[in-house]
Amino acid sequence: MLAHLLITLQIWEKKGISQSKYALIYTYPQDKTNAHLDFIGGLKDKQGNFYYVSYPPLAFFVAYLFCKIFFLPIVPLSIQIFNLLWHFVTAYWLYRFVKLFFQSDRWALWAYIMYLFLPFNLWYHGNSYFVDIFVQGLWIGYAYFWLKIYYAPHKIQNYIFLFLLAFSMMYTEWIAVFVGFSTFIASTYLYIKERSLKRFLPTIIAGTAMVLALSLTLYQYASIENFETLKTTLQNKYEFRSGKKELREPNTTLYWFMLLYHYIKAYTPLLLLMSGASIYLVLKKKKEIFISFNPFSISILTLFLLPVILHHGILFGFTYFHEFSVLKSSFILIIAGLWLVRKLNIPQWILISIVFLQISMYYVAFYRYTDAYKAIGETIKKERKYEELVVLAITEDFWAVPQIMYYAQCNFYYEEKQLRDLPEFLRKHNIKKYAVFYIEQDKVISYKHFTY
């Protein structure tokens, strides 16, 4: 994920962001052999450069601007610093939200601590960065101002911030579509219970902002090639991420277990807390505590729970495969867990134990480091000759293309070790020189230079 971002930022740095159409370009500009090499791109401009259009570009813009403002190089450490700062910003907005929702500083502080030290959050905020991570802070900020409008509907600045955050969220990640739909459902529910049309005003403002951001994204990406190609590309990406193209087995039980594993790996301490509290509720028959779920509370929780359900249901092919997809469940699990602890008067030392368990799990389940991809990339960068096409002969289970691209600072052609399709590619693009790097077990075992 981090290499994914750094590739585009490196190209912006070398080529210029305006020359890259302010879009997520993935073709290095060194020489002509880099053109026509598609790395999970979707659109290709007239020069043969490929662009990644799976997401809107705001998360990339913000990271690039951070490096420029503070004169930082486009390297992993710079982005890690930014993402750690964003980690604290996200936790702070969760603190503000819980303080307003629970009307309690103490529980707000616990929410802040829980978010900071969830092992999943520690890993992805500290070692990676992508749109799924950046949108977290925008989402909780959006929910906070939606909540503030409920308490202070006459303050104009709350509507302004809601508009800006709704626009930014949609200009970052498609979860905003589900959040927008959930906002409409929440507003409709409040209207049914309260018979007040003013509850739809925040929804109209947020919806307008999201439509504008979506329109800007489509216009921006359509200008790379054309709208019809963009439409086809996005449709193919949807079919892949929904699972229509990816799920090969009629029985999807295995894939659901994989998704469940992501949750267990990410949230074991929190899930243990919630499971224990839920068992206690059943045994003690404390059904009366659910009376406190008034229409307003239900509508607020809808902003966090329903988007997660829709995300897993509609984009199941994406969420079961990528463990970071469950990062979006952080807010609802923390809020629900603290609500149970609060209602059942669970001792504070249990929460302290949960936090320490979270930190321990980070080192057991997440703390990992390998420089194998760096070694491969640096070997390619060193051994590749000018205007040579870089060819990777790989095994079927190999997938570290973004990381290697970043360290090699070039695009490359890759396929299985027999390279059956390579001659046709060379003829099609009139490439005369190429170098083949044979990779096994995350190592370059040999390489050869050829003239075709």
**Residue-wise pLDDT tens digits, 277-290:** 877 777 766 665 55
Please determine, for residue 385, whether its predicted confidence score (pLDDT) is greater than 90: no
Mean pLDDT computed over 360-365 = 72
**Above pLDDT 70, what percent of the chain?**
92
- Residue 249's pLDDT band, with cuts at 50, 70 and 90, is low
- Residue 394's pLDDT band, with cuts at 50, 70 and 90, is confident
Q: What is the pLDDT of residue 113?
A: 92
Mean pLDDT computed over 4-24 = 91
**Nearest CA among 97, 299, 298, 306 for reference residue 181:** 306
Please determine, for residue 168, whether its predicted confidence score (pLDDT) is greater than 80: yes
Report how far apart, in Å, the C-alpha atoms of 306 and of each of 131, 183, 298, 348, 408 are. Answer: 20, 9, 11, 30, 42
Question: Identity (one letter) of the amino acid at 398?
Answer: F
Q: Which of 183-197, 392-406, 411-425 has the lowest mean pLDDT?
A: 392-406
Q: What is the pLDDT of residue 120?
A: 83
Q: Which of 47-61, 105-119, 162-176, 342-356 has the lowest mean pLDDT?
A: 342-356
**CB contact at 8 A, 292 and 369:** no
The DSSP result for 29-44, as a single string, is -S-GGGTT--SS--EE
Q: Which of 128-137, 217-226, 351-360 has the lowest mean pLDDT?
A: 351-360
**Nearest CA among 261, 258, 268, 260 for reference residue 364:** 268
- Residue 198's pLDDT band, with cuts at 50, 70 and 90, is confident
Mean pLDDT computed over 407-415 = 85
CA distance 145 to 394: 49
Please determine, for residue 176, whether its predicted confidence score (pLDDT) is greater than 90: yes
Q: What is the pLDDT of residue 68?
A: 95
**CB contact at 8 A, 87 and 116:** yes
Q: What is the pLDDT of residue 271?
A: 87
Q: What is the pLDDT of residue 123?
A: 85
CA distance 48 to 225: 11
Mean confidence (pLDDT) of the chain = 86
Mean pLDDT computed over 203-209 = 95
Torsion of the alpha carbons at 166, 229, 409 and 443, rounded to the nearest 10:
100
Please determine, for residue 172, whether its predicted confidence score (pLDDT) is greater than 60: yes
| DSSP 8-state secondary structure symbol assigned to residue 291 | G
Q: 98, exposed or middle or buried, with CB in 10 Å at 0-12, 13-18, 19+?
A: buried
Number of H helices, E strands in the chain: 18, 6
**CB contact at 8 A, 270 and 79:** no
Two tokens, residue 295: 């229409």
Q: What is the pLDDT of residue 307?
A: 95
User: Global pTM?
Assistant: 0.90
Q: What is the pLDDT of residue 329?
A: 94
**CB contact at 8 A, 303 and 183:** yes
**CB contact at 8 A, 53 and 43:** yes
Please determine, for residue 210, whether its predicted confidence score (pLDDT) is greater than 90: yes
